[in-house]
Chain A
Amino acid sequence: MANVQSRQDAIINGSGTIGTGRYDDVKISGSGRILGDILCHEVKVSGSAKFNGKVETEYFNCSGSAKCLSDVEAKKMNVSGSASIDGKVSGGDVNISGSFKTKGDLNVQSIHVSGSMKTTGLVKAEVINIKGSLSTEKGSECEVFTAKGHLSMNGLLNAENVKITHGGYSYHSGFSYIPEIGGETIEISRFDESNVFSRLFTKIFNNRTNFKADVIEGSAVKIDYTTASVVRGDAVTIGQKCVIDLVEYTEDVQIHPSAKVKDVKKLEL
């Protein structure tokens, strides 16, 4: 049963299709297909929906499953179910507590992930906050990057402030790896040992691994439990259990006794 009227609500409770056009609210609680480009105030998917065209909306809410074959532009995006977007994503705030997959680039204000996010494009935002897992094929750019959980990137992470707290458990999706990290302040640490759960986890999975990177460059770099080939910075602090091939610094360096550093160079300005 579909109720389609131009510039009015389009609601599907059951199964149906919605055509190209402008709507107020688009609500799908059964299974729906949107045939072309739509421009609307709000999209709400609590069943399953497939968008064949572009979606331009103020609010995009998905607590069911949504698949978009083209670009999505939304001022606010909430995914608590699963969403997969083949085109580009642009707009304001993106909140993911379920699963989110994109093939195109993301260019938004902020991204909060407490579930899992996977993209084959480039991620650009002011703020990126990860509390689950993030995997990007090209890398990401932002001002503030905070992550607690699993990270996998295949490009440069370029951010003003980078703060990564990694679990170091290699049992599930492998270790966290980012080839290049660049920015002003970079801090990489491991989950706090004082936490009862993480202590229990450490006991069960004894083989905790380091965070892995190839190159880390920043003005102030502070890392723990990290394996990297090169770390460069003005002030560099190499913490516990780090394994680094080369450290280059200009002002200050501190190396923890349990860290393995092959070579340290001071660069003269």
Chain B
Amino acid sequence: MSEELISKKDLLQLTGISYGQLYRWKRKNIIPEEWFMKKSSFTGQETFFPKQRILDRIEKIKELKDDQSLDDIARVFSINKEIVSDRGNATLSLEQIPKQVVQIYQSLFPNTKLEHLGTVQLCSLLFVNEWLSNGSVTIDEIKQFLNLIETHKNQINMDEATIIYIRKFGMGTWIIGNQETFVDQKDSILINVTLSSYLDKSIK
């Protein structure tokens, strides 16, 4: 999975922010350290960013920064670091999850209290909703996925996790990886998305 990259110079030109702002945001951890990627170029070393993610993030920071302090914004973006099942989490709530998906979840895990769902689980439910409703995966496959998420919900890092689904000869398999997971391109990769993208969708 190769992601399109953007150099720091192009990023600043495109978004119109200054070096001072970029470094300030990095200091406040609004832009994660891992997004600063060093690559050698003809002028020595240059810093690159994952294009789509950094553009989305900067767009959102610009929206928020007029009426919120940087520390508050930092809190919004660091929800992933909070403990799973943090109920005070206002940015992603159960109401945003469509009912039919919640029903599937409940049928699988009748013992789990819905209000105890963590960010990872809520994001995966949004994921389930999208891929079920566009008809790419079957209910059985989704159940497999939810089981996988439930088993590893405490180990999944929201910022890094990507969900990959591969189907070959009618057999499917789920992979929860990070940005550095490589899959044989001959396998048909049906889905390859970052979990945190669902978090961003819900904030809007």
**Residues B26 and A158 in contact, CB atoms below 8 Å apart:** yes
Is A141 an interface residue, CB under 8 A from the partner? yes
**Residues B43 and A219 in contact, CB atoms below 8 Å apart:** no
Partner of A219, one of B9, B18, B26: B18
Docked CA distance A187–B114 (Å) = 55
Contacts of A159 on B, CB cut-off 8 Å? Answer: 23, 27
Is A112 an interface residue, CB under 8 A from the partner? no
Interface 1/0s, chain A 209-245, versus B by CB < 8 A? 0000011011110000000011011100000000001
Docked CA distance A182–B31 (Å) = 15
**Residues A269 and B16 in contact, CB atoms below 8 Å apart:** yes
Contacts of A245 on B, CB cut-off 8 Å? Answer: 43
Contacts of B109 on A, CB cut-off 8 Å? Answer: none
**Residues A214 and B23 in contact, CB atoms below 8 Å apart:** no
Is A185 an interface residue, CB under 8 A from the partner? yes
**Residues B44 and A219 in contact, CB atoms below 8 Å apart:** no
Is A24 an interface residue, CB under 8 A from the partner? no
Is B20 an interface residue, CB under 8 A from the partner? yes
**Residues B44 and A217 in contact, CB atoms below 8 Å apart:** no
B28 (CB) vs chain A CBs: closest residue: A141
Is A115 an interface residue, CB under 8 A from the partner? no
Contacts of A185 on B, CB cut-off 8 Å? Answer: 20
Chain A interface size range: 20 to 34
A230 (CB) vs chain B CBs: closest residue: B43
Contacts of A233 on B, CB cut-off 8 Å? Answer: 19
Partner of A217, one of B13, B23, B43, B45: B23
Given A230-B44, A234-B18, decide whether A182 and B9 contact each other with a Cβ distance below 8 A: no
Docked CA distance A185–B43 (Å) = 23
**Residues B26 and A214 in contact, CB atoms below 8 Å apart:** no
**Residues A182 and B43 in contact, CB atoms below 8 Å apart:** no
Docked CA distance A198–B16 (Å) = 43
**Residues A248 and B9 in contact, CB atoms below 8 Å apart:** yes
Is A183 an interface residue, CB under 8 A from the partner? yes
Interface 1/0s, chain B 5-19, versus A by CB < 8 A? 000110001001011
**Residues B19 and A217 in contact, CB atoms below 8 Å apart:** yes
**Residues A160 and B19 in contact, CB atoms below 8 Å apart:** no
Q: How far is the CB of A23 from chain B (nearest CB, A)?
A: 32
Docked CA distance A197–B112 (Å) = 74
Q: Could you jot down 28 A-B contacts, CB within 8 Å?
A: A158-B23, A158-B26, A158-B27, A159-B23, A160-B24, A182-B23, A183-B19, A183-B24, A184-B19, A184-B20, A184-B23, A214-B44, A215-B45, A217-B23, A218-B19, A218-B20, A218-B23, A220-B20, A229-B43, A232-B9, A233-B19, A234-B19, A246-B43, A248-B9, A267-B9, A267-B13, A268-B13, A269-B16
Please give the residue numbers on chain A whose beta carbons come within 8 Å of chain B beta carbons, in ascending order. Answer: 141, 158-160, 182-185, 214-215, 217-220, 229-230, 232-234, 245-246, 248, 267-269
